[in-house]
Structure 1
């Protein structure tokens, strides 16, 4: 469900960019910032990247947030509610720095406008997810410095969102099928 959430998010933002900016290429990609060797992992330049920063267990269920575990599902003790911390950043060359800031601003605008992904307003929302709520986080400079140090990367303009909430329920199972293309690339490495 985590991958499906990030895929849905990037697809929605790319569609927003196609409509708003009349671009044909995807400007938003899911990617770690650095690879295991500590080198940039984002393929190409001039992209907005989306990366997972953290997974947090939701310990307090507020009214309106528990749709995943209540609506159309049998609730049981095995259900686990989690929140994701997701970063969107502008990975742009210095010559295109201003364009990166504009696209990052559009990401913020899009998530401010839409805020909540539901079955009614997001056709790409996976069946096992009833609702996603995006809340902008504002870490102070000290925390932000720690985040970038933890990532092992140099700072780029970015924004962090808390995504509420995914419910992992033993009654809901999905099949995982790895992409054949990714397997063939791994064997050539």
Structure 2
């Protein structure tokens, strides 16, 4: 689920860079990369990187009541509402090139802050998608917002990753709607309900 959501975002970003700026489709400048594997050494890959740095659960819909019909009660697990803190970084030998590509990505996310199965390309949903059907998103609504950390928070992120800071921006990706093919419904028979009767005095 998380992997597919981030993959869709990366694919859409790559489509934008190819179509708007004429970058070769074989270059795929954006990708999912764990910067912590750099072990505090300068990254050797030139490109834009999306790195997951934190996950928060939004429990707002967790206590939704079960649905009911005249014959049975439907227990359906509420959607897993997650907020993903994602680091967008630009690792290029040229500092100017890093700023240029970071700005292009930020412009794209500003122009399209909401992604769903209705407004993304079909290739974005299939390219590099997880192989198992239960890991792939069938319906989704992803909102991406620029997160403005303090200098201390930015330092903490890079220190946690144990990586050398490069031009970057933090985004909060909100998984507003996530529907997969995983079964999440239990149907139980409706039990007979009896109304309480008042106690009657015995003569």
TM-score strictly above 0.5: yes
Equivalenced residue count is 157
Change (3 A) 1:139 1:75: farther
| Structure 1 portions without partners, runs of 5+ | 62-73, 175-189
1:173 matches 2:201: no
Deviation at 1:41, TM superposition (A): 9.2
Aligned to 1:107: 105
| Structure 2 portions without partners, runs of 5+ | 62-73, 126-135, 184-203
In terms of Rg, which structure is larger?
2
Aligned to 1:161: 171
Whole-angstrom distance in 1 between the partners of 2:166 and 2:55? 22
* TM score, norm. by length of structure 1: 0.73
1:148 matches 2:158: yes
Provide runs of 4+ in structure 1 moved above 6 Å.
Answer: none
Whole-angstrom distance in 1 between the partners of 2:178 and 2:75? 11
Q: Report which of the two has the higher share of strand.
A: 2
**Bigger relative contact order, structure 1 or 2 (CA pairs below 8 A, ≥6 apart):** 2
Whole-angstrom distance in 2 between the partners of 1:113 and 1:15? 14
* TM score, norm. by length of structure 2: 0.69
CA-atom RMSD, angstroms? 2.5
Change (3 A) 1:131 1:40: farther
CA contact (8 A) 1:82 1:167 kept: no
1:132 matches 2:130: no
Whole-angstrom distance in 2 between the partners of 1:27 and 1:164? 24
1:4-35 C-alpha deviation (Å, 9 max, x unpaired): 11111111111101011111111111110032
Whole-angstrom distance in 1 between the partners of 2:148 and 2:75? 33
SS at match of 1:173: coil
Deviation at 1:172, TM superposition (A): 3.8
Aligned to 1:183: none
1:14-70 C-alpha deviation (Å, 9 max, x unpaired): 1101011111111111110032x826596x432111111111101335xxxxxxxxx
Aligned to 2:88: 88
